[in-house]
Structure 1
Amino acid sequence: MTQPLLRRHMATALLLAFLSCGDAEAQDECRQPEPVCAARASVFAIAGPGGIGSATRLSATELVTTRHLIAGVKKVELILESGERLMAEVIPSAYEADLILLSAPDLPEGPAIAQRDSPAASPLFTIGADVSFGRVRAYDPGAILLPPAEDHPHARLHHTAYGQPTHSGGALVGADGQLAGIVAAGGDGRFEAIPAAAIAELRRKSGAEFSAESKEIGAAIRICMLNLDRHRAGRAPLSDEEASALVTSCSRSRNRQNMDLAARVLGMTGRFDQSIALFEAALEEDPNALNTRVGLAVSYHLAARYEDEIPHLVFLMQHLPDDHQVLRLALQAGLWGGDRALAERAFQRIEAVNPQMLPVAKRFLENPPPRPKRR
């Protein structure tokens, strides 16, 4: 079975699971603040080529979701809480980030989510489709890790509010229920949302006149997804042509997470120069992207380029001081890269947050093995 066909089968299975779970037992009480619970009525499950996701209602017939779920198709299915399904039209867009608008003239009456006029503040709550419960849910709150980087129009809001793939396109709201951002990506307890302020630019670059640009971005997303499916499951070496196709398609997809995923594949297959360059390009788009910076540090580490890795580890230790992976990398890179002070700071944090790791860390600090050769 080909990867696109497999993905369609998986999406269909998830859709059936979502619809089959919408029973009385699944109608759990919302435990979040009342405005957050009320905002659930503005979020819907959708089914697209990228699988089950979410969409957030902006007006009577207009919704917004993440573009990687759409992957260039012209229509997607909306799933109402009743289980009813209706089609929404994808509005062509030249917006160069992971957002796109949907038009659903047959959408029943209901509230449109209110957008914040001020910058987001903690706590933040994710609202999105949950396949396990067959409904849209509001999750326990999280906090802001880093705000969108200034003077970077495609920078994201980085936070700890729980997320999973089916929440993509859903709403990230404050305790007042107002929209702070659209859920986009994340992992390892670090999540990202596209700031709600970006919707104004999305609208300016959306409409029939942008069909050609929209088609080009959609094609790049599909090709990037195919390339990632083909290569990220293993560590088999990539040919020059395969590596070039991966870099080109995922860069043109205008999705920083796709760039991260491609860079990880390149790093794990030993193409360190290309991996590092792609991670660096992603950081230029969003300097506060913590998951991107962790990935870049890992690629530098695998390539034994510790001096180049150290500035990124200093940044990460400032913002993720208790992350076990960051601390391990900082201990090793500090010693092998000539920054013993960094290694000692990492050791002190390990002592505080991960005592099980302490004996191994102490042996490494006191008697480090020879530095690996640069790759």
Structure 2
Amino acid sequence: MHKFKLLFYILVLYAFIFSNNAFSASKKCTNIKKICNVLDKVVGIKTPMMIASGTIINENLIITNRHVVEDHKQFIIKFNDGKIKKAFPLAHNFPADLALLTLNKEKDIPNELIYSKKIKGFINVVAFDQGRNSNRIYKKGKIISFSDITKYPQGRIHTTANSLPGNSGGVAVDEDGNFVGILASGDGNINEIIPIVLINDVLKNTNEIYKDQFLKTGKYIRLCADNLDISFNTNEKLDKKITKNIDNYCWKSNNKQLIDQAGQTFGRLGDLKRSTKFLEKSIKLDPMSPNSLLSLAITYHIDRKIEKERPIIKRLLKLTPENPQVLRLGVQVAGILKDKEMSKNVLDLISKYNKDALPLAKKFIDNAFNSN
């Protein structure tokens, strides 16, 4: 069995390195030059579990996501020019979903790196694209919201900039090519980026004394992700063991993305108590996350906790007023609670962003207010 696993890993690694669609640094970049220059700052990362992205921050260090590193002890790194190297994780105890990889364990790590706190214009995600097996600049987008990272170290920048699965660990840049943050997750419409300045907090909290806890947390992250994968295609009640594993490992991972996914998984399967527990935790970690807020609003709605849903929907109406699902929930909440001010606000937004839905929304509101 061990020989089979080793052979499988070698075959996957061979495909990663020698694919016919290998990196092509010579391909002409048609984007803004300052953004094109960032292509060489991104690497592909092969772990025993996945292929992801990483971002070069100096000649010895690469930053990626904590959920990519898990509890693995080494990685295969593929640079934009096709070179292959090994990299090794550095232990730290900072809660953001970031991890450092070193190419040379003997070199000292810097105390601080200088990054601009200002963001100019739109942003693009630059990451390793699994389909193309090369680095790619994705379609630009705008920033929707972000939490105060001094209060919420797991807070993120939320953006409409495009990305794909496997882009975790890639870099988001503004129109001048300045690093904005490291991509962590998303739902295809709104993606989540960890602010670049948090790298310095990771650096300050990097030390071998945290190795045991770092690996232990990484194991929780891996086991949580494994059990979430098992539940992904399940539309029926989960096996009790899988439910227990998700409840246990995902909670102990203290990883905002995995806590989010656990909440969404339990919500989809009708376990509203567990769904609420995880999603409320996620909001505490990042109160300006539209994806987390919407998931929690849906859970409250299904559970008929409309009063608790109302402040969540009001926040979403400010963050994503064009979202049809938010507008639909807004109409229902305003009608059920007979909230005149909220009703007017929602109808005004529908007339601006989704006029075709306005007659039906007005009818629902009128019926709600005229009912006993």
Query: Structure 1 length as normaliser, TM-score?
Result: 0.86
Give CA-to-partner distance per residue, 1:277-331, whole Å, 9 cap, x none.
2111111111111111011001011111111101010010011010011011111
**Helix, strand or coil: the match of 1:251?**
helix
Once residues 28 and 315 of structure 2 are traced to their aligned partners in structure 1, the CA distance between those partners, rounded to angstroms, is 40
1:170 aligns with 2:136: no
Q: Which amino acid aligns with 2:263?
A: A
After superposition, the Cα gap between the structure-2 partners of 1:259 and 1:60, relative to the gap in structure 1 and judged at 3 Å, is same
Quote the residue 1:197 is aligned against.
197
* Conservation of the 8 A alpha-carbon contact between 1:10 and 1:51: no
* Conservation of the 8 A alpha-carbon contact between 1:142 and 1:159: yes
* Conservation of the 8 A alpha-carbon contact between 1:36 and 1:173: yes
**Helix, strand or coil: the match of 1:167?**
coil
* Conservation of the 8 A alpha-carbon contact between 2:338 and 2:368: no
* Conservation of the 8 A alpha-carbon contact between 1:15 and 1:52: no
Q: Which amino acid aligns with 1:218?
A: G
**Helix, strand or coil: the match of 1:166?**
coil
Quote the residue 2:261 is aligned against.
261
Quote the residue 2:154 is aligned against.
154
Quote the residue 2:230 is aligned against.
230
Once residues 322 and 188 of structure 1 are traced to their aligned partners in structure 2, the CA distance between those partners, rounded to angstroms, is 16
Once residues 12 and 119 of structure 1 are traced to their aligned partners in structure 2, the CA distance between those partners, rounded to angstroms, is 44
* Conservation of the 8 A alpha-carbon contact between 1:48 and 1:76: yes
Structure 1 residue 155, shift from structure 2 partner: 1.1
Quote the residue 1:111 is aligned against.
none
Quote the residue 1:86 is aligned against.
85
After superposition, the Cα gap between the structure-2 partners of 1:238 and 1:28, relative to the gap in structure 1 and judged at 3 Å, is same
* Conservation of the 8 A alpha-carbon contact between 1:50 and 1:68: no
Q: What runs of 5+ residues in structure 1 fail to find an aligned partner?
A: 107-113
**Helix, strand or coil: the match of 1:44?**
strand
Q: Which amino acid aligns with 1:315?
A: R
Structure 1 residue 156, shift from structure 2 partner: 1.1
Structure 1 residue 368, shift from structure 2 partner: 5.3
Once residues 125 and 180 of structure 1 are traced to their aligned partners in structure 2, the CA distance between those partners, rounded to angstroms, is 9
Quote the residue 2:100 is aligned against.
101
Once residues 366 and 256 of structure 2 are traced to their aligned partners in structure 1, the CA distance between those partners, rounded to angstroms, is 40
Give CA-to-partner distance per residue, 1:80-121, whole Å, 9 cap, x none.
234343221122222222111111139xxxxxxx85232334
Q: What runs of 5+ residues in structure 2 fail to find an aligned partner?
A: 106-112
After superposition, the Cα gap between the structure-2 partners of 1:129 and 1:14, relative to the gap in structure 1 and judged at 3 Å, is farther
**Helix, strand or coil: the match of 1:29?**
coil
Q: Which amino acid aligns with 1:349?
A: L
After superposition, the Cα gap between the structure-2 partners of 1:349 and 1:167, relative to the gap in structure 1 and judged at 3 Å, is same
After superposition, the Cα gap between the structure-2 partners of 1:157 and 1:75, relative to the gap in structure 1 and judged at 3 Å, is same
After superposition, the Cα gap between the structure-2 partners of 1:240 and 1:24, relative to the gap in structure 1 and judged at 3 Å, is closer
Structure 1 residue 12, shift from structure 2 partner: 7.1
Once residues 54 and 339 of structure 2 are traced to their aligned partners in structure 1, the CA distance between those partners, rounded to angstroms, is 47
Structure 1 residue 274, shift from structure 2 partner: 2.2
Give CA-to-partner distance per residue, 1:29-49, whole Å, 9 cap, x none.
323321211121111111124
After superposition, the Cα gap between the structure-2 partners of 1:121 and 1:22, relative to the gap in structure 1 and judged at 3 Å, is same
Q: Which amino acid aligns with 1:325?
A: Q
* Conservation of the 8 A alpha-carbon contact between 2:158 and 2:192: yes
Q: Which amino acid aligns with 2:62?
A: L
**Helix, strand or coil: the match of 1:158?**
strand
**Helix, strand or coil: the match of 2:333?**
helix
Quote the residue 1:130 is aligned against.
129
Once residues 258 and 166 of structure 1 are traced to their aligned partners in structure 2, the CA distance between those partners, rounded to angstroms, is 15
**Helix, strand or coil: the match of 2:192?**
strand
After superposition, the Cα gap between the structure-2 partners of 1:155 and 1:15, relative to the gap in structure 1 and judged at 3 Å, is farther
How do 1:1-375 residues align onto structure 2 when only pairs under 5 Å count? 16=15, 20=19, 22=21, 28-105=27-104, 115-149=114-148, 151-238=151-238, 242-367=242-367
Q: Which amino acid aligns with 2:59?
A: A
**Helix, strand or coil: the match of 1:326?**
helix
Structure 1 residue 27, shift from structure 2 partner: 5.7
Deviation larger for 74-83 or 336-345: 336-345
**Helix, strand or coil: the match of 2:283?**
helix
After superposition, the Cα gap between the structure-2 partners of 1:50 and 1:192, relative to the gap in structure 1 and judged at 3 Å, is farther
After superposition, the Cα gap between the structure-2 partners of 1:323 and 1:66, relative to the gap in structure 1 and judged at 3 Å, is same
* Conservation of the 8 A alpha-carbon contact between 2:224 and 2:250: yes
Query: Structure 2 length as normaliser, TM-score?
Result: 0.86
**Helix, strand or coil: the match of 1:270?**
coil
Structure 1 residue 139, shift from structure 2 partner: 2.4
Give CA-to-partner distance per residue, 1:324-367, whole Å, 9 cap, x none.
11011111122123324323432343343334444543443343
After superposition, the Cα gap between the structure-2 partners of 1:96 and 1:202, relative to the gap in structure 1 and judged at 3 Å, is same
**Helix, strand or coil: the match of 2:185?**
strand
Structure 1 residue 126, shift from structure 2 partner: 0.9
Structure 1 residue 196, shift from structure 2 partner: 1.1
Aligned length: 359
After superposition, the Cα gap between the structure-2 partners of 1:188 and 1:55, relative to the gap in structure 1 and judged at 3 Å, is closer
